[in-house]
A = this chain, B = another copy of it.
C-alpha cells in the first residue's frame, strides 16, 4: 500500500479534478490511496488559502507518519512564501517521504533538498490530469509513487540531477531556499514567457550555476507572439549562455509544462522511490 497526501502550497484545485484523479487511482492503482487535504480547495486572493492555511496543511501532510508521499496538487505561485517556515517545522516522518511536483513547487523542492529532508522529485501534479492526454501524466506520477521507475527522465544516469522551471530557479538564486547544485545536471523548462525573457533568465541562471555539471533544456512552450521575432531559438539561447559561462550544454531534457513531463528525482535517480 502507498498512501499519498495531497495539498496545495500555491493555488487551489477544483473538487472535480480531485474526484477524477481519485477515480483513476481507484480503477488502475488499487494499492494506492489518495488523501486530499481540504486546504486544496480553499481560495484567498491568488492563493489556495492564506499563507498560514497553506503552511499548516503542508506541515501536517509532510509530518504525517501514515503517509508515504506528499503530492503537490498544483503550481501557480505561492510556495516560496511558506517554504522557510515549513522546513523549520518538519520532523522525522517528513524525512522518509517523497515530495512530488514541479513549476512553483520548485521552491519547496529546492528548500527540502537544501535541508536534506525527504526525497524531492520533479514530476507531474494532480492538476495535470486536466491537460490533453493528462491521464498519462497522472499514471506516470502514481506509478512512480508506487515504486515503478519507468517514468524517469530518460537522460538520467550516474550523475546527480535536479529539474526546475526556469524563472523559479532564477528567483531561488541567492536566497535562503537555494540548494547547492554543484556537480548536478540541471534541467530547465519554461512556459508562457517571451524568448527575450528566456534569454535574460539564461543570462542570470548560467552565471548563478557555474559549478553545476551542465544544463539540459526542457520544453519552452506556449511562447507568446511578440511584435518581432527574437532571432534565436530557445535551444540557441541556452547554448549561447552556457558557452559564454563555460558551462556544458548537455542537450534536451524530456520535461515541460505538458502531459509528457517526465520524472526527475533530485540527486541520484537510484533508490528514488524511498529516501
Interface residues in chain A, defined as those with a beta carbon under 8 Å from any beta carbon in chain B: 43-47, 76-77, 80-81, 167, 170-176, 195-196, 199-201, 203-204, 207-208, 226, 228-232
Question: Whole-angstrom distance from the CB of A111 to the nearest CB of chain B?
Answer: 12
* Nearest opposing residue in chain B for A207, CB measure: B175
Give which listed residue, B45, B81, B228, B229, contacts A230 with CB less than 8 A. Answer: B45
* Nearest opposing residue in chain B for A45, CB measure: B231
CB atoms of B203 and A80 under 8 A apart: yes
Residues in B neighbouring A208, C-beta threshold 8 A: 174-175
CB atoms of B46 and A201 under 8 A apart: no
Compute how far the CA of A171 lies from the CA of B166 in the bound complex, rounded to whole angstroms: 12
Compute how far the CA of A80 lies from the CA of B45 in the bound complex, rounded to whole angstroms: 35
Question: Whole-angstrom distance from the CB of A265 to the nearest CB of chain B?
Answer: 25
Question: Whole-angstrom distance from the CB of A206 to the nearest CB of chain B?
Answer: 9
Ranked 10 nearest A-B pairs via Cβ: A45-B231, A175-B207, A77-B196, A174-B208, A171-B204, A46-B230, A171-B200, A174-B174, A80-B203, A173-B174
Ordered by A's residue number, 20 sampled pairs between the chains whose C-beta atoms are within 8 Å are: A45-B228, A45-B230, A45-B231, A46-B195, A46-B228, A46-B229, A46-B230, A76-B196, A77-B199, A77-B200, A167-B200, A170-B170, A171-B201, A171-B204, A172-B204, A174-B174, A174-B207, A174-B208, A175-B204, A176-B207
